[in-house]
Amino acid sequence: MLMEDSGCMMLLETSHEQNSKYAHLTSHYVVAGLPFEMKVIEQTGESGWYVQIGSHTDDLTDCDEYRRWPVITTSQRIPKLLSESINMYSPVGGLLYLVAPTGDEASSITVQLSNVVPTPTYDLTDANRETKWNTSGKQADGLWADLAGNYMILSVPSATIRNIDTEALDRVLELYDNIVLAGYDLCGTTSTSRERLVCDEQISCGYMHSGYPIMSHLDYLKLTERNIPYILDEKALRNYGGEGEWGIPHELGHNRQKDWWTFSDTDDITCNIFSLYVTNTVYGRDLWEISVFGGSCAENAIAYLSGSNQSFEEWKKDYYVGLTIYGQLAREFGWDSFKAIFRTYENTQPELNSDQEKIDLWVKTFSEQVQKNLVPLFQLWGLIVSDAIANKLEDFDIPKIDDQFIQAVPGKYPA
């Protein structure tokens, strides 16, 4: 709710779960070097709100080279006392956010802003979004834009979105929502805040990385044949490489994965269970015909199985070799088995102190869920189950699996 009064007054009300940090959009931008003022008009409930300038929160201090200044966001705690005000500025400017407290009590805040400019903002939750976008929103002066679905917010340069129509924005934001929801559907948890994805000139590590926000390089903004930035082209995302965008579900998978069922050095394996799920259920691809189970990936997996050293340490060195057994489990027993198992972990929250304990519990839980003895399958890939667990599962039948990987190593798998 916006009201003009010596600047702009913004009423923001929110309720939030315990420990759910969330940066609320203000639809405003702070101009580089120009101080702005924020006065608290009303604040109820949980205290500890912050005001933040900038969406690019990666700290590049430890990087070997800089393509941008190492730290370009700034934040300040909002005072509880209504008589106080905040005066801030940023040498580089940035989108303006109000960051919610992380307590478990509902809260609301009303602030008055001065010396800020409107910035392009499109929010799928706003029933008037089409009118706002077409009348003034997409041409607002702020240099960066926030595009928000129900479950994901994208921060991109304003120059990249001024010619995109609302139908295209609705389609791509709904796709991102479906990708995010797929992850929650698989692991059995619920969203406490919208995920965020920010494009940046330079990020702190990798090609992309997970977290809040997920960070990507600016090449995600390259134009497609429809003259739309790739990151905002629903068709391009669905059909990338003939299979669909993998990187964003991969990073969201990192945000969903749990240590209970992620063995040491396998973070980039188990997060891709979510990429598989999205590729299969959101993009509609046949799970066993995507590239991670074919071509050079399949050749590497077969070479590993055909070699003389199938061990946990070797298995986890190649992420796609490591992922193959999860694909086998999904194909043989369906995604509902994963859903049930992840929910079991969420309900029990086991205390596990070693990889062996994690492997044992995963194999035991999966075997009991599908009523099959999966010990031989895991041991084929080099994941050795303890004798105690193996003995408990002997009464289950060994599943008959006949795929290219089993066929490539006759005699190594007993069924």
DSSP assignment string, 44-94: EES---EEEE-S-----TTSSS-SS-S---EEEEPPSSTT-EEEE--SS-E
Q: Which helix (H) or strand (E) holds 234?
A: helix 234-239
Kindly state the average pLDDT of the residues 114-120.
Answer: 94
pLDDT bin (cut points 50, 70, 90) of residue 27 is very high
- State which residues form the domain around 194: 119-256
Q: Which helix (H) or strand (E) holds 348?
A: helix 335-348
CATH number at residue 382: 1.10.390.30
Per the structure, how many domains does the chain have? Answer: 3
Q: Are residue 156 and residue 74 in the same domain, yes or no?
A: no
Spatial separation of the C-alpha atoms in residues 39 and 31, rounded to whole Å:
18
Which residues touch 194 (CB under 8 Å, ≥6 apart)?
22, 148, 149, 150, 151, 152, 153
With residues binned 3-state (H G I as helix, E B as strand, rest as coil), the percentages for the chain, rounded to 5, are 40, 20, 40
> Which residue would you say has higher pLDDT here, 8 or 339?
339
What confidence score (pLDDT) does residue 7 get?
54
Q: Are residue 79 and residue 171 in the same domain, yes or no?
A: no
Angstrom distances, CA of residue 379 to CA of 122, 129, 198, 322, 370? 51, 54, 41, 13, 18
Angstrom distances, CA of residue 90 to CA of 26, 34, 53, 221? 17, 7, 7, 25
User: 323: which 2 tokens?
Assistant: 């992922």
pLDDT bin (cut points 50, 70, 90) of residue 374 is very high
Q: Are residue 303 and residue 397 in the same domain, yes or no?
A: yes
Spatial separation of the C-alpha atoms in residues 363 and 356, rounded to whole Å:
11
Q: Are residue 132 and residue 107 in the same domain, yes or no?
A: no
pTM metric for this prediction:
0.93
- Helices (H) then strands (E): counts for the chain: 14, 16
Strand partners, 38: 86, 113
What confidence score (pLDDT) does residue 2 get?
36
Q: Is residue 312 part of a domain?
A: yes
Strand partners, 144: 157
Q: Pick the last residue of a domain from 67, 85, 118.
A: 118
Q: Are residue 84 and residue 194 in the same domain, yes or no?
A: no
The vertex-326 CA angle with 287 and 214, nearest 5°, equals 80
Strand partners, 28: 118
| Residue 135: other Cβ atoms inside 10 A | 10
Q: Are residue 223 and residue 314 in the same domain, yes or no?
A: no
What confidence score (pLDDT) does residue 11 get?
53
Best CA proximity match to 51, nearest among 67, 33, 35: 35
The per-residue pLDDT for range 28-84, each reduced to its tens digit, is 999 999 999 998 888 888 888 999 999 999 999 999 999 999 999 999 999 877 777
Q: Are residue 263 and residue 394 in the same domain, yes or no?
A: yes
Helix (H, G, I), strand (E, B) or coil at 133: helix
Q: Are residue 168 and residue 59 in the same domain, yes or no?
A: no
What confidence score (pLDDT) does residue 79 get?
85
Best CA proximity match to 375, nearest among 342, 402, 414, 408: 414
Share above pLDDT 90 across residues of the chain, in percent, rounded to a whole number: 84
Q: Which helix (H) or strand (E) holds 345?
A: helix 335-348
Q: Is residue 19 part of a domain?
A: yes
Q: Are residue 403 and residue 261 in the same domain, yes or no?
A: yes
Q: Pairing relation of β-strands 152-157 and 195-200? A: parallel
Q: Is residue 275 part of a domain?
A: no
DSSP 5: S
The per-residue pLDDT for range 218-268, each reduced to its tens digit, is 999 999 999 999 999 999 999 999 999 999 999 999 999 999 999 999 999
In sign, the C-alpha dihedral spanning 300, 305, 309, 314 is positive
Average pLDDT, the chain: 92
Q: Is residue 415 part of a domain?
A: no
User: Of 100-104, 113-117, 158-162, 339-343, where does mean pLDDT reach its minimum?
Assistant: 100-104
Q: Is residue 158 part of a domain?
A: yes
pLDDT exceeds cutoff 70 at 280: yes
Kindly state the average pLDDT of the residues 121-131.
Answer: 96
What confidence score (pLDDT) does residue 5 get?
39
The per-residue pLDDT for range 165-177, each reduced to its tens digit, is 999 999 999 999 9
Helix (H, G, I), strand (E, B) or coil at 221: helix
pLDDT exceeds cutoff 50 at 16: no
Contact criterion met (CB below 8 Å) for 75 and 48: no
Q: Pick the last residue of a domain from 99, 118, 137.
A: 118
Q: Are residue 107 and residue 132 in the same domain, yes or no?
A: no
